[in-house]
Amino acid sequence: MHIREQFPALHQKVYGKPLVYLDNGATSQKPKMVLDVLQEMEGKLNGNVHRAVHYLSMQCTERYEKARVVIRDFINAASENEIIFTSGTTASLNLLAYSFGQTYVRPGDRIIVTEAEHHSNIVPWQMMCQRTGALLEVWEIDDTGALDPKKLEQILDKPGEVPRLLAITHVSNVLGIVNPLSEIIRIAHYYNVPVAVDGAQGIVHKKVDIREMDADFYAFSGHKLYGPTGTGVLYGKEKYLEEMVPWQGGGDMIETVSLRKGTTYAQLPLKFEAGTANFTGVAGLKAAVEFVNSLDAKAIEEHERKVTLKALEALGQIDGCRILGMPGTYYGQIYEKIPVFSMIIEGAHPADMATLLDKMGIAVRSGMLCAEPLLERFRVTSVLRASFALYNTLDELDFFVESLKKVLKMLR
Ligand SMILES: Cc1ncc(COP(=O)(O)O)c(C=O)c1O
């Protein structure tokens, strides 16, 4: 079956026009096999996990823990103890910032973030700095969107200062540029600094082998990976997760609770999963990962590469169009681009373009894309973003470009 046939949402009309869905950076549509699992879980197999001995509860527990194994294998983690289920990337990064901060961070320590981060990989660290007295340091990007490793070394090598953690995105949701993480992590580790990766966009377009990458933490969301909303993962190396204090308290994350003697905590991974888990969603996330696993990864990579090259060429020919994030070889490293195109076009406001495109059936995003510091870096306050998924076709790209040209005729 062709990939698109598996996504019911792609076959609807909006305003009487066929939907062209190009807002995948925000959230992706879900294949039927994920929708079927969600229906089965909610409609039939509904029993709370890790609790009861009855059939439904045991079925749900089995699926929930099987999902952990599937995700462990998906990213090639060493153990399922390293896979913590959360409600999404934002929750994963907040968990990490809290627990890592309480466990390891002292006043005056440095937390390093890049200029290209989503707010989810900035604000939790700012809050952590407020709690712990640490200082936030920024690794700036250059005009192409690339990061100069020499600047990182300068930041990490300041005498008398303790860099405690580097938080960096795998792929920026604005620039679409894939950071050369292996090299960056190699440098950070040379200075004994662990690296936390925001993989919200990266895991959707790149195969992640966490042991090869050697990231210490990696966060991602289910809903961008063809899975359910309200699911996510925090991967963490076991040696850190073992030492880190829990974040939220409640059921499931405890070993014993005594009003007099206090509480002891559960072993990994449950130590970080307080309360009733989103077991329905996690079963759906497992189905989403199995869907991705079932595809021809090479063919998809090739298709996405074609979309990227064609889009860069076609959009580059539009008068006054500036695209943020250019692929290339910089600082001796290859900076690839995924099919995410954020643009500013002279004489037309992104919100107006997005509104008119919407009326033509095309879903795109406009605004700050939750990356205000990054937009400020490029001296813009709003961009138009078209973000493609594996199910978008070259015909849809052509239609988008032609429609954009029509919109520009109306607006300028
Ligand atoms: C790079 C990046 N990081 C973090 C997030 C936050 O993800 P979520 O809203 O699923 O928690 C997003 C969402 O757009 C993103 O693109």
Closest by CA position to 169, among listed 139, 142, 190? 139
The tokens for 5 are 């046939």
Mean pLDDT for 349-368 is: 98
Residue 52: what pLDDT? 82
Mean pLDDT for 329-349 is: 97
* CB-facing half-sphere around the CA of 117: CA atoms within 13 A: 26
Q: CATH 3.40.640.10 spans which residues of the chain?
A: 38-292
Band of residue 1 on the pLDDT scale cut at 50, 70, 90: low
Mean pLDDT for 172-194 is: 97
For residue 88 and ligand 1, the question of a CB distance below 6 A is answered with yes
Distance CA 77, CA 74 (A): 8
Q: How far is the CA of 27 from the centre of ligand 1 (A)?
A: 9
- Atom number of ligand 1 nearest to Cα 89: 11
Q: How far is the CA of 224 from the centre of ligand 1 (A)?
A: 8
- Atom number of ligand 1 nearest to Cα 27: 14
For residue 387 and ligand 1, the question of a CB distance below 6 A is answered with no
| Average pLDDT of the residues of the chain | 97
Q: How far is the CA of 200 from the centre of ligand 1 (A)?
A: 5
For residue 24 and ligand 1, the question of a CB distance below 6 A is answered with no
Mean pLDDT for 375-386 is: 97
Q: What is the CATH number of domain 3-22+296-411?
A: 3.90.1150.10
**Is the CB of residue 282 less than 8 Å from the CB of residue 64?**
yes
pLDDT digits (tens, 9 = 90+) for 24-38: 999 999 999 999 999
Res 51 pLDDT > 80: no
Residue 242: what pLDDT? 98
- Atom number of ligand 1 nearest to Cα 117: 1
Distance CA 282, CA 285 (A): 5
Torsion of CA 208, 74, 169, 229, to 10 degrees: 150
**Is the CB of residue 27 less than 8 Å from the CB of residue 224?**
yes
pLDDT digits (tens, 9 = 90+) for 281-327: 999 999 999 999 999 999 999 999 999 999 999 999 999 999 999 99
Res 93 pLDDT > 70: yes
**Residue with CA at minimum distance from ligand 1 atom 7:** 89
For residue 120 and ligand 1, the question of a CB distance below 6 A is answered with yes
Q: What CATH number does domain 38-292 carry, 3.40.50.720, 1.20.120.160, 3.30.1440.10, 3.40.640.10?
A: 3.40.640.10
Question: Residues 6 or more apart from 259 whose CB is under 8 A from it?
Answer: none
**Residue with CA at minimum distance from ligand 1 atom 12:** 200
pLDDT digits (tens, 9 = 90+) for 137-158: 999 999 999 999 999 999 999 9
For residue 202 and ligand 1, the question of a CB distance below 6 A is answered with no
The tokens for 173 are 């949701």
Please work out, in degrees rounded to the nearest 5, the angle formed at the alpha carbon of residue 216 by the alpha carbons of 211 and 222. Answer: 80
Helix, strand, coil % in the chain, rounded to nearest 5:
45, 20, 35
Distance CA 206, CA 115 (A): 22
Phi, psi of 169 (to 5 degrees): -85, 145
The total of other beta-carbon atoms located within 10 Å of residue 78's CB is 11
Dihedral sign from CA coordinates of 27, 32, 35, 37: negative
pLDDT digits (tens, 9 = 90+) for 216-259: 999 999 999 999 999 999 999 999 999 999 999 999 999 999 99
- pTM score, whole prediction: 0.98
Q: CATH 3.90.1150.10 spans which residues of the chain?
A: 3-22+296-411
Question: What H or E segment, with its residue span, contains residue 383?
Answer: strand 383-387
**Is the CB of residue 335 less than 8 Å from the CB of residue 144?**
yes
Mean pLDDT for 124-137 is: 98
